[in-house]
Structure 1
């Protein structure tokens, strides 16, 4: 069967719950309070229901997931753009480029080509030892920061996908 991408359904909640808890275990050990790190089944179901949640499957098993919060949804990102969050890869498959493959597919095929969005944002913890640098290597640029009361400062990053569509107003005020 190989690898393929699809939208998650509520029937995937238990498998996504287990995947997320495993993938986010290092963040819990670092004391970084990401929602996915301590999610229960109800929060996983809410994520699937309220956001665009994709999974990457290999031979019928979910090996990675990423969700996108929409500007009109209950938890919009900071700039009125699609906002990537809840990104997880099966920790037993680390270092094989699975996460990079999923993110590249979501950024280009979905957000840029299907949705025609000029850019995408994401947020991560200032205390995380390598995530900010990883996203910057992928072409993301810092656009602001905010204390959301989670015990760390959230660093917001943006990646321009179609500069011809980018309009002013997609900058974070009060950096």
Structure 2
């Protein structure tokens, strides 16, 4: 992995490889190689191919990809315009590369898109609120817990099969410096 990865935008042809990447980072035994596993919280799918395909083709939405030397995706994230801010999600780094700066680079690129290309005031995301290590990782990168929560989509297997009854999302937020953006779109 180069020190400065090259980013590209996903196409619908990438859907199968991106579904496999995201699943490997969060579900099953493969995900336990990295630190982002949700294998003790959820089983089943992490991303639905139809949802991903829709995110790739819709306006004001980008799926950012970092490829390996063999052309296979090593990291990805989805960023979109939502309620006048950037929304960050579907963030995945191949488990064997986690902890080496790849995630920092992908997050920084998504923040750049929101701040510089879309000229929005900040970025928001939702994180399962029992994922303390992951929330702490985002906090070290300037995100703050808002105290606002959203329900987990129990019963919608497109987003996984919960292994616990207490899952919910917390909204995290990072505002950019007022001088780094213009009027919101």
TM-score, normalized by length of structure 1?
0.78
Report deviation, 1:47: 2.7
Q: Which runs of 5+ in 2 are unaligned?
A: 32-36, 154-165
State the alpha-carbon separation in 1 of the partners of residues 132 and 146 from structure 2.
19
Report deviation, 1:10: 0.3
State the alpha-carbon separation in 1 of the partners of residues 125 and 19 from structure 2.
21
| Residue 148 of structure 1: aligned partner | 151
Report deviation, 1:48: 1.8
State the alpha-carbon separation in 2 of the partners of residues 123 and 133 from structure 1.
13
| Residue 67 of structure 1: aligned partner | 78
Contact residue 32 and residue 125 of structure 1 kept, 8 A:
no
Report deviation, 1:67: 0.2
Are the structure 2 counterparts of residues 141 and 30 from structure 1 closer, same or farther at C-alpha, using a change threshold of 3 Å? same
Q: Which runs of 5+ in 1 are unaligned?
A: 72-78, 167-175
Are the structure 2 counterparts of residues 147 and 130 from structure 1 closer, same or farther at C-alpha, using a change threshold of 3 Å? same
Report deviation, 1:156: 0.8
State the alpha-carbon separation in 1 of the partners of residues 101 and 7 from structure 2.
15
- How many residue pairs end up in the alignment? 157
| Residue 44 of structure 1: aligned partner | 52
RMSD over aligned Cα, in angstroms? 2.5
Find the partner of 1:132 among 129, 135, 140: 135
State the alpha-carbon separation in 1 of the partners of residues 143 and 175 from structure 2.
8
TM-score, normalized by length of structure 2?
0.74
Higher relative contact order (CA 8 A, sep 6+): 2
